[in-house]
Structure formats: C-alpha cells, structure tokens
Amino acid sequence: MTRKSASERVERFNLRRQGKDLETLRSAMTVWAEARGKDIQTVYDGLSEVSELRGLDDRFQDISEPLVAIALIADAELSNGAQRIWPELSEILRDMAGQRSDGDRSEALSGLIAIAEAALADTDEVFVSNNELLKRAVATEGLTWLKSTKMLATFCGKYALVPRHNSAKTERGYSITKEWLDDVRARYMPPIIDFKPSEPSADQAGRGSESNL
C-alpha cells in the first residue's frame, strides 16, 4: 500500500456510523456462502489449468485457484454485457506473480528493445536514468504495466540489464550498450526469415494433386 498524496482524497471511515452497513454486508456474505459454497467447490475441483495463469509459478497458480473459482461463478451469474470479474482479476494475479504470458513477455521485450534502439541511436553506449527509462517504458506499448522503478529493475534484470550508478556517481540508471542490444536480440527475439516461395522444378511440375484439377 502507498500513502496517498495531499491531492488524492478518500472518504473518511467511521466504524461507529458505518458499522451497521458492514454487518449487513457480512450477513449477506454468510447467506451467499451457505448457498453458493457447493457450486464454487464444484468449479474449483473441476479446474485443471487456467489458461490465463499458464506459465506462472505452480504454487502461485495453486493459491490463485480459489479466487479463480469464485470469479468464474460470479461471471456465470451475470447477464450478458455486465462487467466481468475474471478478466480484471486475472490481470492483477499476473501482475502480482511478476510474470506475464508468453505473448505479453515478447511484446514487453520488443518494447524494451525499441527504447534501447532509440536511446542508442548511432552510439555504442548510453546511460539512461531509472526515472527516464520508466517514463519511456510506460509510454511504450507492452510496457505500460510497469508501475515503479523496482518493477522496471525486476523486468530488466531478466535480460541482464541491471541498474547502476553513472560514471559521475550522481545518478542511478541503466547503461545500455550496443553489445547488450545485439545479445538480447540474438537470444530472445525470433529470427525473421526472408521467405520466398521456390519456383517449381521442371521435372516435378505437374506431379502434385494440382494435376487432378
């Protein structure tokens, strides 16, 4: 949790005044549990692998499944067009696990590479401060989920890009080199094959199924 700034306001809570509302809500949840408990257990027992959580740590998937079961029941009860619980919950669970799906990861890495390319331009090495890199990251598609310099460090650390001081030791940030960029491209980015269909050879032509047409 984070302390709110002076401009961020929340309503004051007074237990004496609002205690009754909480009690009503609690009673409603008791009624709900009695009525829906078995349905949720059935959904929970039937969960094999939740596609949205695939790739996350096994233990994390285990502890997420009870919440998944509740969210799925909640969504099943809703009529079409109503706001769904599971899509939003799956996002936060993936954020919490500190991992993204393969597609997201690839998109995030592409974003980081694009930032690195722009920062390097024609130089071999460039220093980008923590805050500057975060600022550029949140404005880049695939990296908008980064919320703090700590999250940025965790993400970059997976690709051997770690924060350190600049040469004057006045600022912390990332020293991005061309060598690092080439290495990341070679390791993690799928090669783009320049594909051209071959011409049919004279002796094989007409031997395929197309000759039956």
Partner 1 sequence: MAASLMLFAEIVVIQEPAKAGEQFVSSIAAALKGAEYRGTVKAVTLPEKDARALWLTYKDTAQFTAALEQVITATPPIDLYPEVPRTADLIFQVRNLLTRHLFFRNPRSPLLIAVWILGTYIYQSFTVFGYLWANSAEKRSGKSRLLEFLEKLTSNATPRLSNVNVATIFRLANKQQTLILDELENLKGEDKEAYQGVIQLLNTGFQAGAKVARCLKVDGEWDVGFFECFCPKALHPSRTYRTRSRTDHLKFS
- Report d(CA 91, CA 103) in Å as an integer: 14
| Residues 6+ positions from 99 with CB-CB distance below 8 Å | 55, 56, 57, 105
Does residue number 1 form part of the binding site for partner 1 (CB under 8 A)? Answer: yes
- Report d(CA 171, CA 143) in Å as an integer: 23
Q: Which of 16, 59, 169, 207 binds partner 1 (CB under 8 A)?
A: 59
- Report d(CA 99, CA 58) in Å as an integer: 12
Stretch that binds partner 1, among 3-11, 105-113, 128-136, 166-174 (CB under 8 A): 3-11
Q: Between residues 52 and 178, which has the closer beta carbon with respect to partner 1? A: 52
Does residue number 117 form part of the binding site for partner 1 (CB under 8 A)? Answer: no
User: How many other C-beta atoms are found inside a 10 Å radius of the C-beta of residue 210?
Assistant: 9
- Report d(CA 161, CA 140) in Å as an integer: 18
Q: Which of 52, 65, 132, 171 binds partner 1 (CB under 8 A)?
A: 65
Q: Which of 34, 38, 29, 24 is nearest to 73 (CA)?
A: 38
Number of residues lying near partner 1 (CB under 8 A): 56
Q: Which residues 164-183 are close enough to bind partner 1 by CB under 8 A? A: none
Does residue number 196 form part of the binding site for partner 1 (CB under 8 A)? Answer: no
Q: Which of 54, 57, 144, 208 binds partner 1 (CB under 8 A)?
A: 57
Q: Between residues 59 and 207, which has the closer beta carbon with respect to partner 1? A: 59
Q: Which of 101, 102, 103, 91 is nearest to 67 (CA)?
A: 91
Q: Could you identify the residue written with the tokens 């071959």?
A: 198
Q: What is the sign, positive or negative, of the torsion defined by CA atoms of 188, 190, 194, 198?
A: positive
Does residue number 143 form part of the binding site for partner 1 (CB under 8 A)? Answer: no
Q: Which residues contact partner 1 (rule: CB under 8 A)?
A: 1-4, 8, 10-13, 15, 19, 21-23, 25-26, 28-33, 35-37, 40-41, 44, 57, 59-60, 62-67, 69-71, 73-75, 77-78, 82-83, 85, 88-89, 91-93, 95-96, 147
